[in-house]
Amino acid sequence: MSCIKCEHVTFSYENQVVVSDLSFQVQAGDYLCIIGENGTGKSTLMKGLLGLKKPAAGVITLGEGIRQNEVGYVPQQTENQKDFPASVWEVVLSGCLNSRGILPGFGAKEKRLAEEKLKLLGIYDLKNKSFRDLSGGQRQRALLARSLCAAKKLILLDEPTTGLDPLATEEFYHLLLELNKKHQITVIMVSHAIQEALEHADHILYLSQESHFFGTTENFMDSEAGRKFLGRMEE
Amino acid sequence: MMQYVTEMFSYPFMVRALVVGILLSLCAALLGVSLVLKRYSMIGDGLSHVGFGALAVASALNLAPLTVAIPVVILASFVLLRLNESGKMKGDAATAVFSTGALAVGVMVVSMSTGMNSDLNSYLFGSILAMSKEDVAISVVLAAAVLVLYVFFYNKLFAVTFDETFARATGVRTGLYNSLLAVLTAIVVVLGMRMMGALLISSLIVFPALTSMRLFQSYRSVIFSSVVLAVVSFVVGMSISFWYGTPAGASIVVVDMIFFCVSSLAAWVKER
Ligand SMILES: Nc1ncnc2c1ncn2[C@@H]1O[C@H](COP(=O)(O)OP(=O)(O)OP(=O)(O)O)[C@@H](O)[C@H]1O
Ligand SMILES: [Mg+2]
């Protein structure tokens, strides 16, 4: 079953084209990594998939049963979250807003959902801790829990492991793999950690100025674009 | 003691100033938490200078001050927030341009029309005599509106403050809540600046939030603490102003600052 389908999509900022004529399709249960050099439009594409930026051309279709506001998102950490006074519980619960509509407050259903996700990611005992006192890895887990509250089937992540130490990075990837395999959550992630990306993902979308590559991870390693890219990474 | 308090309440202007001030401090503190966390701390300051310019022009032209200042400041507030979002001109630069520009216009107008001094002084540093019956009515309505909106949209405002992109992606209408914040801030600034003074009104917005952020770990407790702190500092500052004849705005800010220093010290000691 198709989860997201991009057909001949182009993104541009004020006439400057950032991504051109991109087509790919993500099936339910896939694990897709988006890689590419800086400035090739990975974050822009993420915004497009989240419905925050309209493509200049082409169409993005979400699969059946996924509403636009039910796509989970783990952003790159922003500066102003570093000293934000909020408990983990408040942060995670804020992911449940989309099921609340106009109603104020949160009901028992949302609270149960948030509790369940905290337990799933092993941070239930951090519930009352302040978000700003968490380690980088714990913070990303909290943001992941929040995105799982918003999403039923699909989560997007934009460089979630930037700034984490190798061990925390490894753990985070492990967690994602588990969500993907055990809980059938479709994962689309922008990543600069190429090693881990190639290890875990089953599909690769490679963006570059000249051309795009989309296919399975094995195909990517064999392709010309892939060999060139990996060759450059090793230098 | 009791006698002092009764004396204070025996002046109608003091009662008005206290009612308006407590309500405004409360609103400013609520809005302030979001503004400080969104890195808009200086917007209150910029808006108060714009308000000063507008009040000066209004009084020179013999127009009702509030009917001129409120729309002008709301407009400025929108422009500043929009500039911040679009990133064309850095928000802090835009705020600086607005605030110094409007201040200069205001000073020019005041000096040409009335010949400086007393008027200028009360605009810049505030006066507790400035509150009319009309102000009391407006601030009661405003405070009620802010409270109701705040409670009703509490979770959405939290989401928009914490992570705007995520909020937007999950279907929260962030533009609407930002505009709400802009309008309410503008109104609070205009109403408060005649008592607190154009130079000091933004302290009502930033101090309680900053002090509370040092002491408390969750968003909800920061909000509660800000409101309580704001009201306490206002009342204490106002009493000092009444008994010692110091300007109200400055007295309140000094109290705010003492709280801030104490809380910083407390946070520092706790960390050791
Ligand atoms: N808001 C914006 N306005 C104008 N141009 C933008 C905007 N955001 C991004 N760009 C431009 O679009 C291009 C792609 O940016 P984008 O952030 O999508 O790249 P990226 O692949 O995510 O890069 P990185 O690996 O550094 O995160 C860049 O050249 C950037 O300058
Ligand atoms: Mg990026």
Distance from CA of B238 to the nearest CA of A (A): 30
Supply the pTM of this predicted model: 0.88
Q: Please name every residue paired with A60 in a beta bridge, in sequence order, or none if there are none.
A: A6
pLDDT, tens digit (0-9, with 9 covering 90-100), for B27-86: 999 999 999 998 888 888 899 999 989 988 888 888 887 788 889 999 999 888 777 666
Residue A7, Cα to own-chain centre: how many angstroms?
20
Residue B236: the pLDDT is: 94
- CA distance linking residue B169 with residue B161, whole number of Å: 14
Residues of chain A positioned with their CB less than 8 A from the CB of B172: 97-98
Out of A85, A94, A105, name the one closest to residue B217 (CB): A85
Instruction: Residue A90: name the closest of B69, B32, B218, B183 by CA.
Output: B218
Query: Looking at the predicted structure, is the pLDDT value of residue B244 above 80?
Result: yes
Cβ-defined contacts of A179-186 (< 8 Å, 24+): A179/A148, A179/A155, A180/A29, A180/A31, A183/A120, A184/A28, A184/A29, A184/A153, A185/A148, A185/A151, A185/A153, A185/A154, A185/A155, A186/A3, A186/A26, A186/A27, A186/A28, A186/A29, A186/A30, A186/A31, A186/A32, A186/A153, A186/A154, A186/A155
Domain that holds residue B190: 2-267
Sign of CA dihedral A221, A223, A227, A228: negative
B118 or A163: which leads in pLDDT? A163
Confidence of residue B251 (pLDDT cuts 50, 70, 90): very high
Are A97 and B156 within 8 A, CB to CB? yes
Query: Looking at the predicted structure, is the pLDDT value of residue B88 above 70?
Result: no
Examine residue B116 and state whether it is found in any structural domain, yes or no.
Answer: yes
A94 close to A146: Cβ distance less than 8 angstroms: yes
Instruction: Residue B91: name the closest of B160, B34, B31, B43 by CA.
Output: B43
Confidence of residue B128 (pLDDT cuts 50, 70, 90): confident
Q: Specify the 3-state DSSP secondary structure of B198.
A: coil
Query: Residue B192: which residues within 8 A CB-CB, separation 6 or more?
Result: B21, B24, B28, B201, B204
- CA distance linking residue B258 with residue A106, whole number of Å: 37
Say how many domains are in chain B.
1
Are A86 and B172 within 8 A, CB to CB? no
Residue to substitute from A94, A146, A154, interface B, most B β-carbons within 10 A: A94
Looking at all shown ligands, the one closest to residue A15's CA atom is 1
B251 or A193: which leads in pLDDT? B251
**DSSP for residue A32:** E
**How do the residues of chain A divide into helix, strand and coil, expressed in percent and rounded to 5?**
45, 25, 30
Examine residue B272 and state whether it is found in any structural domain, yes or no.
Answer: no
B113 or B26: which leads in pLDDT? B26
**Please, what is the end-to-end C-alpha distance for chain A in angstroms?**
39
Examine residue B132 and state whether it is found in any structural domain, yes or no.
Answer: yes
Cβ of A17 closer than 6 Å to ligand 1, yes or no, is no
User: What's the CATH code of the domain at B23?
Assistant: 1.10.3470.10
Examine residue B137 and state whether it is found in any structural domain, yes or no.
Answer: yes
Examine residue B25 and state whether it is found in any structural domain, yes or no.
Answer: yes
Residue B116: the pLDDT is: 52
Q: Which of A94-98, A101-105, B6-10, B134-138 has the highest mean pLDDT?
A: A94-98
Confidence of residue A190 (pLDDT cuts 50, 70, 90): very high
Ligand 2 centre distance from Cα of residue A55 (Å): 17
With residue A203 as reference, give the H or E element that holds it.
strand A203-207
Q: Residues within 5 Å of ion ligand 2 by Cβ?
A: A 43
- List Cα–Cα distances, B156 to A19, B36, B166, in angstroms: 33, 17, 11
Examine residue B213 and state whether it is found in any structural domain, yes or no.
Answer: yes
Are B170 and A98 within 8 A, CB to CB? yes
Rounded (10°) CA dihedral B148, B149, B155, B159: -160
Are B158 and A94 within 8 A, CB to CB? yes
Residue B117: the pLDDT is: 53
**DSSP for residue A6:** E
Q: Region A158-187: what's the mean pLDDT?
A: 89
Rounded (10°) CA dihedral B58, B60, B63, B68: -10
Lowest mean per-residue pLDDT among A59-63, A73-77, B225-229: A73-77
Residue A5, Cα to own-chain centre: how many angstroms?
16
* Ligand 1 atom with least separation from CA of A45: 18
Instruction: Output the six-digit token pair for B182.
Output: 């802009």
Q: Please name every residue paired with A7 in a beta bridge, in sequence order, or none if there are none.
A: A59
B248 close to B241: Cβ distance less than 8 angstroms: yes
Residue to substitute from A79, A97, A139, interface B, most B β-carbons within 10 A: A97
**DSSP for residue A78:** P
Which strands, in side-by-side order, build the sheet including A203-207? A71-74, A154-158, A186-190, A31-36, A203-207, A212-216
**DSSP for residue A158:** E
Please give the residue of chain B at the shortest CA–CA distance from A144.
Answer: B166
- CA distance linking residue B141 with residue B184, whole number of Å: 12
Residue A235: the pLDDT is: 59
Examine residue B85 and state whether it is found in any structural domain, yes or no.
Answer: yes
Examine residue B180 and state whether it is found in any structural domain, yes or no.
Answer: yes
- CA distance linking residue B212 with residue B186, whole number of Å: 23
Residue A37: the pLDDT is: 86
Residue A151, Cα to own-chain centre: how many angstroms?
11
Query: Looking at the predicted structure, is the pLDDT value of residue A199 above 70?
Result: yes
pLDDT, tens digit (0-9, with 9 covering 90-100), for A72-127: 899 877 777 778 999 999 999 999 988 887 788 888 889 999 999 999 998 999 99
Q: Output phi, psi for B228, to 5 deg.
A: -65, -50
Query: Looking at the predicted structure, is the pLDDT value of residue B115 above 70?
Result: no
A122 close to A138: Cβ distance less than 8 angstroms: no
Distance from CA of B181 to the nearest CA of A (A): 17
Residues of chain B positioned with their CB less than 8 A from the CB of A102: none
A13 close to A54: Cβ distance less than 8 angstroms: no
Residue A149: the pLDDT is: 93
A70 close to A98: Cβ distance less than 8 angstroms: yes
Confidence of residue A221 (pLDDT cuts 50, 70, 90): confident
Mean pLDDT of chain B, nearest integer: 87
Share of chain A above pLDDT 90, in %: 36
Are B220 and A146 within 8 A, CB to CB? no
A142 or B132: which leads in pLDDT? A142
pLDDT, tens digit (0-9, with 9 covering 90-100), for A16-49: 889 888 999 999 889 999 998 888 999 999 999 9
